[in-house]
Structure 1
Amino acid sequence: MTLPQRVLLLDNLLMWLGFFMIIPLITVHFVSGLGWAAGAIGLVLAVRQLVQQGFTVVGGMLGDRFGLKPLICLGLLVRSLGFASMAFADTIPLLMASAVFAALGGALFDAPKSAAIVLLTPPEQRPRFYALQGVTSNVGMALGPLIGTLLIPYGFQAVSFMGAACYVLSLVFSFLMLPSMKVTEKKPKGSTFQGLKMALQDRPFIQFQTIQMGFFFLWVQVNVALMLHATQHGGTSLTAWVYGVYAGFTSVLQYPIMKYASKKWSSQTLLAAGVASMALGMGLMGFTHEPLTILLCTAVFAFGNLLAAPSQQTLIAGLTPPERAGTYLGVAAFPLAIGGFLGNALGGAMFDFGKAIHFVTLPWVVFFVVGSITAVLIYQFRATQAQKEEPAASTAV
């Protein structure tokens, strides 16, 4: 593995560590600690996600035009300032402004970082690289809340500054060790917006992104439906176990499983199987009330995610023309913006509605149906696009 590849993995670990050190603690501090309205904090978090994913395409377009490294470094700087400013947020408008500023930082570095992976990893290495990236993500996801919890007795300011420090450290590594990168040696033809038009008119690419909304609708439920169900049937101790099983399962098993599976099956097959497993875990959850069975269903869901997440990234890379990598990968953030927003908004609402109509399994039925349809559509997309994507698929296994 090359030094730039190692730096990208280290960056990813630091980003997820800093993010999950702060974001989960926002609710704990401002709602439980200060007594702010939960709805207001939920709005802050929802706006943060929409801003970051909605503006990621801008970061990608700028990366195509001015180079990837400057956008990565600028985004890391802005994100660190946004998180640090949360230490001084004593009103909802100030917290919202800090969250939006942090989101803009993420929008600047997200697509360029993804484009850098495409440029710095040969196609045959990508499935395993994305699996390793998933491991670093889950390690950061597991350790971030733990470190934040240890720091919260010293005040939320300590949490904010430590989370921001992770991004400053990532900025230093990126600035010193990442090479200068452009998506192509020659400037792409046409204006920056021509790249956006090209991506939006790329029918297979847009078709795949539309399908991925179903994947992200399920993916965000680890922070919504799974937490609600665990709290209802086991309290906060069970939620910690669910979170630990999910993050630990994928951290330990994702790389060895993907290293083997990517040699046997195409990324399309693995993605379809992964989403189907996620749907199955969610469907079975509606019939579970005991902690052990809830954890078993969580493991089924986590197994699906460890197959689906790196396979999805590999497929997107295969559909992305190198000369427009930043813009394409910016557009690829929209499924998370839309699917994630709907998953967050409807996940909890369906629990309340299901209780009101005496159909408590309603959310789990919906999750299973959405996941099953998504898995079928992914498989059909593989069948109809096989000839076009044959080179990308063959290098991914």
Structure 2
Amino acid sequence: MTARSTWRAVPGPVRLLLFSQFAFNTGFYLVVPFLAVHLSSGLGMAGWVVGLVLGLRTFSQQGFFFVGGALTDRFGVRPVLLTGCLVRIAGFCTLAVGQSLPGVLAGTVLTGFAAALFSPAVETGLAHAGARLEEAGAVTRAELFALDDVVSKVGSLAGPVLGAALLGVPFSTTCFVAAGVFAVVLVANARWAPRVDGVPRSTSVTAGWGSVLRNRRFLVFAALYSTLLLAYNQMYLALPVELVRATGSQRALGAMFVVAAVVTVLVQVPVARWARRRGARHALPAGFAVTALAFALVAAATVLPRPDLVPALAPAVGFVVVLHLGSALARPVARDLVPPLAGERHVGAHYGVLASLGGVAVLLGSGVVGAVLEPGAVTPWVLLAAVVAVSGVGLAALSRRLGPAAGRA
């Protein structure tokens, strides 16, 4: 089953969730990749201030996913999704008019926190819709999550392309355009999103957090799985350094993201379908092993002589392709595994904590990697390959103890 056939198999409300995810990513990547240039060149802020702002944006997003997940359990998908759109619109409008550090910080925090509301709501909605579609024999939940990855990736590619087309206009105009994208998502969901989404309601926001903290199997799973987000984040941290090693510049970085998008669109759904048939106990370790191989490829390229017939960009291209193949194997199956690990209760809180732990892994791991990362250094690539491989071994051991939830075919 391809991404197109999967799209045709899902009903209108689920398509609306997927469209919302696409538009949300488009609007986000329309602005955020160009934020650093605006802060440094447009507002004349120092480099450490730019780093602070960008770090705060990541923290306000990843660090608060657990809040959005718990709110989704309490109030449902639709209210939290709409609130996320409103907060994102407010954030971009604040960035558009903010000319001082307090205004920029306020817009940045609002922009990040909006995703912490929106994304767990969409993920929870897809999880419950996927369960119903799987029971009806339409598509599996893993295939639906794979399609979500596809539309998200296309949105993350469309956003920078549209942003680059707007480079000649003031940054404030770009922010208002992005706010308009989110206004479309807001209106569409306010008009057509079902008011009753089938997500069980929690009695309180804190009930979901208590359920997660008592779920030791899930916490172990989330800690091991968090290294996949750390690995993927190297597209932004380690890959540019590899390009400098190979070519002397980062000019090919945009092309690498195009390669990533093409690989995701072509293989995500078919690979996820195969992984779903194999079950999490096989697909998760395989996905992590393939991801570790991506880092091993670059590690080998830094220490071995390159034959004349091999292009300089070959290790970087290989890294991107193999990294996304590993992600295609692991991510949909892992996201499909969260509801059974949660006992189909407080699913939003579990998705939120899963994302927040990934954010912690990125924050801590990227600091370690960044300390040893330089063109030609083999240590960071070996370190990342080892961390991902160890996580894969841990997930293999854990999945053998999960019973039917990890081995469904």
TM-score, normalized by the shorter chain, greater than 0.5: yes
Q: Which position in structure 1 is the counterpart of 2:271?
A: 257
Question: CA separation in 2, counterparts of 1:173 and 1:274?
Answer: 36
Question: CA separation in 1, counterparts of 2:316 and 2:72?
Answer: 43
Question: CA separation in 1, counterparts of 2:343 and 2:121?
Answer: 14
Q: Which position in structure 2 is the counterpart of 1:242?
A: 256
The correspondence for 1:56, drawn from 65, 73, 84, is: 65
The correspondence for 1:305, drawn from 309, 312, 327, is: 327
Secondary structure of the 2:63 match is: helix
Give per-residue Cα distances to partners, 1:122-181, cap 9 Å, x unaligned: 263211101111110111111111110110111212221222222111111211121123
CA RMSD of aligned residues (A): 2.1
Q: What pairs up with 1:1-397 in 2 under 5 angstroms? A: 1-32=10-41, 34-122=43-131, 124=134, 125-181=140-196, 188=202, 191-234=204-247, 235-263=249-277, 265-288=278-301, 290-352=312-374, 360-385=377-402, 387=403, 390-391=404-405, 393-394=407-408, 397=409
Give per-residue Cα distances to partners, 1:26-82, cap 9 Å, x unaligned: 123323555533332222122122222222222222222222211110111101210
- 1:240 maps to a residue whose letter is G
Question: CA separation in 1, counterparts of 2:238 and 2:370?
Answer: 7
Task: Rate the CA distance shift 1:200–1:11 in 2: closer, same or farther, 3 A.
Answer: same
Question: CA separation in 2, counterparts of 1:191 and 1:157?
Answer: 39
Question: CA separation in 2, counterparts of 1:191 and 1:73?
Answer: 20
Moved over 6 A (4+): none
Q: Is the 8 A contact 2:96 2:176 kept in 1?
A: yes
Q: Is the 8 A contact 2:226 2:354 kept in 1?
A: no
Give per-residue Cα distances to partners, 1:287-319, cap 9 Å, x unaligned: 336212321232111211222222221122332
Gap regions ≥5 residues in structure 2? 1-9, 135-139, 303-311
Q: Which position in structure 1 is the counterpart of 2:305?
A: none
Give per-residue Cα distances to partners, 1:103-125, cap 9 Å, x unaligned: 22222222222211122222632
Q: Structure 2-normalised TM-score?
A: 0.88
Q: Is the 8 A contact 1:221 1:343 kept in 2?
A: no
Give per-residue Cα distances to partners, 1:309-341, cap 9 Å, x unaligned: 222211223322333122222222222220121
Aligned residues: 384
Q: Is the 8 A contact 1:152 1:158 kept in 2?
A: no
Task: Rate the CA distance shift 1:61–1:260 in 2: closer, same or farther, 3 A.
Answer: closer
Q: Is the 8 A contact 1:115 1:183 kept in 2?
A: no
More helix by share: 1
Q: Structure 1-normalised TM-score?
A: 0.90
Q: How far is 1:286 from its partner?
A: 2.4
Task: Rate the CA distance shift 1:31–1:343 in 2: closer, same or farther, 3 A.
Answer: farther
Task: Rate the CA distance shift 1:136–1:67 in 2: closer, same or farther, 3 A.
Answer: same
Question: CA separation in 1, counterparts of 2:22 and 2:380?
Answer: 32
Gap regions ≥5 residues in structure 1? none
Q: Is the 8 A contact 1:135 1:250 kept in 2?
A: yes
Question: CA separation in 2, counterparts of 1:369 and 1:200?
Answer: 28
Q: Is the 8 A contact 1:268 1:315 kept in 2?
A: no
Secondary structure of the 1:103 match is: helix
Question: CA separation in 2, counterparts of 1:33 and 1:347?
Answer: 30
Secondary structure of the 2:116 match is: helix
Secondary structure of the 1:259 match is: helix
Question: CA separation in 2, counterparts of 1:99 and 1:144?
Answer: 18
Secondary structure of the 1:153 match is: coil
Task: Rate the CA distance shift 1:343–1:119 in 2: closer, same or farther, 3 A.
Answer: same
Q: Is the 8 A contact 1:184 1:323 kept in 2?
A: no
Question: CA separation in 1, counterparts of 2:405 and 2:382?
Answer: 38
- 2:390 maps to a residue whose letter is I
Q: Is the 8 A contact 2:128 2:199 kept in 1?
A: no
- 1:299 maps to a residue whose letter is V
- 1:282 maps to a residue whose letter is F
- 2:146 maps to a residue whose letter is A
Task: Rate the CA distance shift 1:87–1:256 in 2: closer, same or farther, 3 A.
Answer: same
- 2:17 maps to a residue whose letter is L
Secondary structure of the 1:176 match is: helix
Q: How far is 1:370 from its partner?
A: 0.6
Q: Is the 8 A contact 1:116 1:181 kept in 2?
A: no
- 1:119 maps to a residue whose letter is H
Question: CA separation in 2, counterparts of 1:329 and 1:132?
Answer: 18
Of the structure 1 ranges 92-101 and 51-60, higher mean CA displacement relative to structure 2 is found in 51-60
Task: Rate the CA distance shift 1:88–1:233 in 2: closer, same or farther, 3 A.
Answer: farther
